[in-house]
Amino acid sequence: MLLRPPVREHLLPLMDGLLREFSTLHRLSGCEGAEQAARRMVSLLQEQGLDARLMHCPLYLSDPLAGRLRLPEQPQWQCDAKTRSFSAHCPQGVEGRAYYDAVACEPRTDLEWRSWAQDVRGKIVIAGQGFEDYVQRLCAAGAAGLIHIWGSAETALHEETVGPVWGTPEPDDFLRYPRLPVICVNQQDGQRLLAQLQREPLLVLEIATELNFHVAECSMPVVDIPGTTPEFVLLSSHYDAWHEGVTDNATGNALCLAMAIHFHQQPQTLLRGLRIIWWSGHSNARYGGSTWYADNYRQQLKQHCVAHINVDSPGCLDAVDVVLNASGAESHVFLNAAVEAVTGEPARRITTLGKGGDQSFWGCGLPLHFAFREVPLEKTSQSPGSGGGWWWHTEADTYDKVDLNILWRDTQIHAHWLESLLTQPALPLAPLAYLNGLQQSLAELISAISPEFDLRLVAEKLQQLQPVLAELTAKWQKDPMTWQPQLKQAIAGLHRLRYSSVDDFHYDLSYRGGAFPGFQELAAQRGETSPEMWLMMTTRFCRQRDRALSLLENVAAICRS
């Protein structure tokens, strides 16, 4: 079935209109501007004849309000600072000796972390990073605070989070939130601070933070374009933003709006439905909206959803190169065909999905998960988002950072993917390539950790799965309709192993990434590890090994059924 292609003259003005409206709305979840944006999205869809509505989810929000750095003995010394979502709220300020962690970005062994913990106790640590796991260690070590010096030269200060909990916390998770204030300064101010510290090794610092922690009912627009079968594809983008966030993520919201109108206006009925959701809680609730959706719609997702495509920050100025993040189960021919059809070239690279970006569905049985990214020819900022632009997560993420031609390119690429997924009975699955990738990742992991953590049984089980999965794949290629349900389930089982270390109803901590997260933190050498940590790692290893074996047995049983 061939669909009508998307019409630029029709869709781009609507998308541009949305960008201009959203560029005047501060859209942090819980704010009136965000609610206004959600209502506007629904009314725009309804004006186009779509049956859109709002869902409402309560979220636990952490809004960073202010961060401050002072040198008590030199009151004239000044610099700008911002705090982080889920930093501790310390408006009265904390004082402490400065400690510069010059190798904060390097890996450390357990024994090195132990001696580091002695050094940072009671100190205000200055470091070149502020990742959640680092903040967790600082907290456990009793550090007084953290000053994160941004790693690239732009003067603008970026918003970020140090919340380690994925989505809304449960009572036990609540203890995980940092109890120390965290601020960020730009590189220039950071260098000035370090120069001061060099002159005055006993330098005392004071940092203060103000945050607003609150629970709010947040709206999420949703629209369904039905197909002839109950199966559907989930297309999503977060509509909440830091500040007016035009490239992160009004452009993604506009792309999703265009896809809703485009597929709704096709004369023929689609084979699969298209469900589009605009998430809240991405920024100040650590993916709270998508996690709430997984918690509340798990059965529907498990039964009927075949793919999740997350759209975050398309259409960015200078972002000429397309890169893709995919779970590994997607056929590269399928992924690249859309990119080639629009740009004449395949994606610059296809890499596995990292931890982040509303990837909240590993326990929901979906076989396909992928996300479009883009980068400039030369990257000068450490920004991981907004197409590599320095303005990412700052007040400068304004309308002038959009390139409408690039946004249209990105929209067309999504239209190609969706057309295939919504009309072709056979899904673009690459089960054997995925299994092969898993075996490689496991081999890399085995060579990186102590041989005492013996993963050979898991490697053998993966190897034994090869012929069984090959047989199912061959049957599916001949008769997709009969064998696709089993194949989807088998792949979803492998995703649980590759992307998660918990059961279907829980979420890994936000920093627990990499292949086989359950095995990621195991040590390279016993001699570098304290006895108690070794015992804890061994315990984790046993449980995760048995989880892996059990998952692989299930996958093999599904393949044989």
Would you tell me which residues interact with Zn ion (CB under 5 A)? 248-249, 312
Residue in 172, 177, 89, 164 with CA at minimum distance from that of residue 133: 164
Give the three-state DSSP class for 363: coil
| CB 360 to Zn ion: min, Å | 14
Question: Is 377 exposed, middle or buried, given 0-12, 13-18 or 19+ CB atoms closer than 10 A?
Answer: exposed
Which residues have CB under 8 Å from 535's CB, separation 6+? Answer: none
| CB 509 to Zn ion: min, Å | 20
| CB 247 to Zn ion: min, Å | 9
Q: Are 165 and 71 in contact (CB under 8 A)?
A: no
Give the three-state DSSP class for 517: helix
Q: Are 306 and 232 in contact (CB under 8 A)?
A: yes
Beta carbon nearer to Zn ion, 154 or 248: 248
Question: Is 77 exposed, middle or buried, given 0-12, 13-18 or 19+ CB atoms closer than 10 A?
Answer: middle
Q: How do beta strands 321-326 and 368-375 pair? A: antiparallel
Beta carbon nearer to Zn ion, 82 or 373: 373
| CB 210 to Zn ion: min, Å | 24
Q: Are 249 and 313 in contact (CB under 8 A)?
A: yes
Distance separating alpha carbons of residues 332 and 336, to the nearest angstrom? 6
Beta carbon nearer to Zn ion, 476 or 511: 511
Beta carbon nearer to Zn ion, 11 or 241: 241
Beta carbon nearer to Zn ion, 254 or 445: 254
Beta carbon nearer to Zn ion, 249 or 325: 249
Q: Where are the alpha helices (DSSP H) in 281-388?
A: 288-296, 298-304, 332-343
DSSP letters, 397-453, are --GGGB-HHHHHHHHHHHHHHHHHHHH-SS--B-HHHHHHHHHHHHHHHHHHS-TTS
Give the three-state DSSP class for 550: helix
| CB 387 to Zn ion: min, Å | 11
| CB 282 to Zn ion: min, Å | 6
| CB 41 to Zn ion: min, Å | 16
| CB 355 to Zn ion: min, Å | 14
| Tokens of residue 96, six digits | 């402490």
Beta carbon nearer to Zn ion, 35 or 248: 248
- For the chain, helix, strand, coil in percent to 5 are 45, 20, 35
Any idea which residue has 């510290």 for tokens? 197
Distance separating alpha carbons of residues 372 and 259, to the nearest angstrom? 15
Beta carbon nearer to Zn ion, 28 or 94: 28
Beta carbon nearer to Zn ion, 253 or 331: 253
Beta carbon nearer to Zn ion, 334 or 391: 391
| CB 249 to Zn ion: min, Å | 4
DSSP letters, 99-163, are EEETTTTS---HHHHHHHHHHHTT-EEEES---HHHHHHHHHHT-SEEEEEPSSS--SPPP-B--
Q: Please, what sign has the CA dihedral across residues 297, 299, 302, 303?
A: negative
Beta carbon nearer to Zn ion, 85 or 473: 85
| CB 353 to Zn ion: min, Å | 14
| CB 318 to Zn ion: min, Å | 17
| Tokens of residue 549, six digits | 């074996």
Residues in the chain: 561
Give the three-state DSSP class for 467: helix
Beta carbon nearer to Zn ion, 60 or 242: 242
Distance separating alpha carbons of residues 225 and 228, to the nearest angstrom? 10
| CB 128 to Zn ion: min, Å | 23
Q: What is the largest CA-CA distance in the chain?
A: 77
| CB 238 to Zn ion: min, Å | 6
Beta carbon nearer to Zn ion, 206 or 312: 312
